[in-house]
Amino acid sequence: MLTINVAVLLAVVIVLRLRRRTQARSRLDEKLTVIVVLVFGVLIAPTSFGQGVLNIVGQLTRSVTQSGSP
């Protein structure tokens, strides 16, 4: 039996949707892409990969804010 991880499936859908030209997208198409990306974020957040991404982004933001302050 083949099982498909929903997060992996959504990642493939996101990549395919973002490969399209910007001019070819309607407002509804853009809204659907945003919803798919939000669902992907919710699904991946509790995983170890999601926590790693959160740590990396947190470190980057801290370094940017520290370099900007005198």
CA 70/CA 65 separation, integer angstroms: 10
**Helical pair 6-18 and 27-44, crossing angle rounded to 10 deg:** 150
Number of helices (H), then strands (E), belonging to the chain: the values are: 3, 0
Q: What is the pLDDT of residues 8-65, one digit of tens each?
A: 888 888 888 888 777 777 888 888 888 888 888 888 888 888 888 888 888 888 888 8
- Residue pointed to by tokens 């509790």: 46
Considering the entire predicted model, what is its pTM? 0.61
**Counting every residue, how long is the chain?**
70
